Structures are given as structure tokens and as C-alpha cells.
């Protein structure tokens, strides 16, 4: 999360400018206050209005037309926690390297002491030119972070190095520069969340009140800390976090099939979904009407066990389960951990009003395979997610 952080985005006139729209939007969605500064040439490619709408703040192009009674470049430079220039043309890079301050972007950069992140984009020959390379080196020596351009298709129709780095990489560089943790980089994580729905007939189902909030918080924190994350989500009351691949499923069987498709890809599975233990043996076609039967008996059969199936197929995966119990959950959670071969289980008593289904807080106990039991205080689900990843990291480092 970038809540409470002010990020300046300097935009120069590269054809990759359309990607800066996504960058600004993503930074804002992650909670940052975003101010966009554009070079005059950049406004010939995309209008300031676009960035105004995406950032929610007026765009600065001309320092001599202040919209407020302050010297904008100095005021903004002082507010900034990070200054990212993306896309950065060969020209703006040359100006930054040489201390030239003749437009809103370069002038503000010179006045700014926040971390500077530069994401260049240009044709291969411009990128490889010794002048550009020397300018890049100068900026690096001065502490700027360069998000290297990538190889690939360029707007000239040629292939080569010079494509703007992915938005994910640029945001990761901003977060790193802000001192945020990227300690799960390289981890491949699958998280399940939400409730499954087991159909009785075409309009009725058996389910539970799981909102999906816990699983979403776990997926989001993993993503922010650098992991590659896939989310398999049943029915949820809230929208999934942005920027994460989501596979939507309905039933327990679909959830297990979706997870098993990724078997071999993930090295950590956190199963926070409330998966039905039983499903109707038969689903009635159409709708069961009130007058059709005096009493209705549903015959249920057990659903396949996700965690046990994964443990069988993937013996080395780090497996985390949840035990939502009514009443003191520790003993039943320990039994579940042993029976399913889990590395860690998160137990909670869902009969408490501040814990479990639907609410934003949770009171959990971490129980690990080595026998350690760690009760946590009442925390927000996001805080539980942070603590959970710390715990998983600690346990995986021990192996
Ligand atoms: C359509 C178009 C696309 C351009 N794309 C790039 C580019 O990707 N990278 C680059 O360094 N220059 C690019 N240029 C050249 C720059 O716009 C030019 O060097 C300009 O003077 C840079 O101004 P600025 O850095 O103030 O935005 C492009 C020019 C045009 C007309």
C-alpha cells in the first residue's frame, strides 16, 4: 500500500506515454497521492486532462502559469516521497544528468531530494548511444534508480532494447525506493478465498458467510511484498485486489480443479477459502417447488479435500490452512494440521463478533507443524496477513 505517500510522476514525450496512464492509475489505486508533471512535448502525445482525471490532481506543464499562489515546482518537490520519471526520453535523461532545468519535469527533479526513479523508453540506437549510456551512468552514480528498458517490439517496427519496463516493475522500484518490503520476491503463491456454493437446484445452494476479505488481504500483501500471486476465489462480498490474476469458481470441486491446474507452479498455498465439506449428491434440474413435496430430504456427500489432495500431489509445497471453529479452536486445528500434513494452520473462533466471517478484523492463533502455538491479538485482516507472511517466511527459512 502506498497510502500516505506522495509520488510525483514526470512524463516526457516518448511513444510509450500511454503506459504512463496505467502507471498513474495504479499508483493512485494503491493509495498514493499522485501529481503528474509533463514536458511540453509530452502534451502533444497525450493531453494533461487525461492525467488530471487519472491522478485526481491538476497537471503541471508550465511553471510560469501557476494555478496556486506558490512556486509549484518547489512546493511539489518538498512534498514528494518519490519522483518517478516514466517514460523518460533520451532528452530528459540528458537534462537530468547535466542539471538542466528548463521545463516542469527537469526543474522539479533538480529541486527534489526524494528518491528519483527513471524508466527510460526509446529506440535501441538512442538507448545504446554512448551519450545516453554515460548520462544513465551519471544518474546512477548520483543515486537515481534506473528501471532498465526491456527487449521487444518497438514502435518503429523493429525489435530491440528500449521498451518501457512493465508497470509492475516500475511500481516495485518505487516501493523499494520508499523502503517498502520486497522480501517475497521470487515466491510463487496461490491463495484461495471466499465461499463455495453447492447447488441444490438451479436457484438454491448451500454456502457459508465467508466474505473473501481474509484471502484477499493475504493475496494483496504477498503481491505488495513481491510474490507472484494467483487467487482462486469462490463467491465473495468484496472486489478482489487490483493487479492480481483471479480465477473465479463456484463449487468446492471447481475450486480444487482450479488449484490443481497450478500444481507444480506454486510453492506456497494459503487456503483461506471457506470450502464446503459436503455437497448435495444430486442437483435437481430446474427449481423444487413448494407444493411438490411435503418434506425435503437432502442427501449430501463429502467434497474432495483440497489440502489433502495438494499434499499428496505436491509433497514439498508449503501448505497453510485455516480452521474456522465455533468455540476454542486450538485442539481441532492441531488435529486438522496433522491429518492434512500442513506446515501451518490459522485457527479462529468464528462465533466471536469481531473475528472471522464478514468483519474486517480477526483474532487468530498460528499453529505450526513444529508444535509452536502463537496467539495473536485482535488485528485487522491486513495486519493478520502481514504477520502470516512473516511467519511463513520464518518457517520456510528454517527448512
Ligand atoms: C511520436 C514520437 C515518439 C517519440 N518517442 C520517443 C521515445 O520513445 N523516446 C525518446 O527518447 N524520444 C522519443 N521521441 C523524440 C522526443 O519526443 C524528442 O526527443 C523530444 O524533443 C523530447 O522532449 P521531452 O524530453 O521534453 O519530452 C519521439 C517523438 C515523437 C514525435
Write down the domain spans for the chain: 6-177, 188-398
41 in catalytic set: no
Q: Which of 20-29, 259-268, 323-332 has the lowest mean pLDDT?
A: 323-332
% pLDDT > 90, the chain: 77
Q: pLDDT (tens digit, 9 = 90+) per residue, 143-156?
A: 999 999 999 888 88
Per-residue DSSP letter, 183: T
370 vs 347: CA distance, rounded Å: 16
pLDDT score at 351? 78
* Average pLDDT estimate for 32-50: 97
215 vs 25: CA distance, rounded Å: 24
Q: What is the mean pLDDT of the chain?
A: 93
- Check if CATH label 3.40.190.170 holds for domain 6-177: no
Domains 6-177 and 188-398 share a fold: yes
pLDDT score at 356? 64
248 vs 64: CA distance, rounded Å: 51
Q: pLDDT (tens digit, 9 = 90+) per residue, 163-189?
A: 999 998 999 899 989 988 889 999 999
pLDDT score at 336? 94
What spacing in Å lies between the alpha carbon of 164 and ligand 1's midpoint?
A: 13
- Check if CATH label 3.30.300.30 holds for domain 188-398: no
Does residue 16 line the site of ligand 1, with CB under 6 A?
Answer: yes
pLDDT score at 34? 97
Q: Is the pLDDT of residue 358 over 70?
A: no
With beta carbons less than 8 A apart as the criterion, state whether 399 and 363 touch.
no
> Comparing C-alpha atoms, which of 153, 120, 125 is closest to residue 137?
120
* Average pLDDT estimate for 199-216: 93
Question: Is residue 296 classed as helix, strand or coil in its secondary structure?
Answer: coil
Indicate which atom in ligand 1 lies nearest the CA of residue 44. Answer: 31
397 vs 399: CA distance, rounded Å: 6
Dig out the grid coordinates for 166 from the structure.
512493465
pTM confidence score: 0.69
Q: Best substitution site from 89, 96, 124, 163 to test ligand 1's pocket, by max atoms within 8 Å of Cβ?
A: 89
Confidence grade of residue 66 (pLDDT, cut at 50, 70, 90): low
Per the residue annotation, which of 91, 135, 208, 362 is the catalytic one? 208
Dig out the grid coordinates for 381 from the structure.
485482516
Amino acid at each position: 500500500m502506498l497510502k500516505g505517500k506522495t509520488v510525483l510522476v514526470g512524463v516526457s514525450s516518448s511513444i510509450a506515454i500511454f503506459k504512463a496512464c496505467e502507471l498513474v492509475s495504479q499508483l493512485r489505486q494503491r493509495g498514493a497521492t499522485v501529481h503528474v508533471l509533463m514536458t511540453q512535448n509530452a502534451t502533444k502525445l497525450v493531453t494533461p486532462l487525461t492525467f488530471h482525471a487519472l491522478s485526481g490532481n491538476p497537471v503541471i506543464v508550465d511553471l510560469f502559469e501557476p494555478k496556486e499562489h506558490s512556486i509549484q515546482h518547489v512546493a511539489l518537490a518538498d512534498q514528494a516521497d518519490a519522483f518517478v520519471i516514466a517514460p523518460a526520453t533520451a532528452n530528459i535523461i540528458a537534462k537530468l544528468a547535466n542539471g538542466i532545468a528548463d521545463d516542469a519535469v527537469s526543474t522539479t527533479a533538480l529541486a527534489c531530494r526524494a528518491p528519483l526513479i527513471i524508466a527510460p523508453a526509446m529506440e535501441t540506437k538512442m538507448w545504446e548511444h554512448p551519450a545516453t549510456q554515460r548520462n544513465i551512468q551519471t544518474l546512477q552514480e548520483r543515486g537515481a534508480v534506473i528501471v532498465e528498458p526491456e527487449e521487444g517490439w518497438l514502435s518503429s517496427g523493429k525489435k530491440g532494447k528500449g521498451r518501457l519496463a512493465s508497470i509492475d516493475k516500475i511500481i516495485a522500484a518505487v516501493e523499494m525506493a520508499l523502503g517498502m518490503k520486497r522480501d517475497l520476491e521470487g515466491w510463487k503463491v496461490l491463495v484461495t478465498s471466499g465461499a463455495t456454493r453447492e447447488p441444490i437446484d438451479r436457484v438454491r445452494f448451500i454456502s457459508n458467510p465467508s466474505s473473501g476479505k481474509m484471502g484477499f488481504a493475504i493475496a494483496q500483501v504477498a503481491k505488495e511484498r513481491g510474490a507472484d500471486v494467483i487467487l482462486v476465489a469462490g463467491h465473495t462480498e468484496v472486489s478482489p485486489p487490483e493487479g492480481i490474476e483471479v480465477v473465479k469458481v463456484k463449487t468446492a470441486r471447481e475450486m480444487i480443479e482450479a488449484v490443481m491446474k497450478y500444481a507444480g507452479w506454486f510453492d506456497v498455498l494459503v487456503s483461506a477459502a471457506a470450502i464446503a465439506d459436503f455437497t448435495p449428491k444430486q442437483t435437481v434440474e430446474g427449481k423444487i417447488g413448494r407444493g411438490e413435496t411435503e418434506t425435503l430430504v437432502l442427501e449430501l456427500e463429502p467434497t474432495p479435500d483440497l489440502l489433502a489432495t495438494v499434499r499428496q500431489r505436491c509433497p514439498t509445497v508449503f501448505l497453510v490452512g485455516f480452521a474456522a471453529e465455533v468455540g476454542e479452536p486450538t485442539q481441532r486445528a492441531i488435529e486438522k494440521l496433522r491429518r492434512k500434513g500442513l506446515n501451518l494452520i490459522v485457527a479462529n473462533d468464528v462465533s466471536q463478533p469481531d473475528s472471522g466471517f464478514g468483519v474486517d478484523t480477526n483474532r487468530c492463533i498460528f499453529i505450526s507443524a513444529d508444535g509452536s502455538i502463537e496467539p495473536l491479538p485482535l488485528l485487522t485482516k491486513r495486519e493478520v496477513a502481514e504477520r502470516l507472511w512473516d511467519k511463513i517466511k520464518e518457517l520456510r527459512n528454517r527448512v
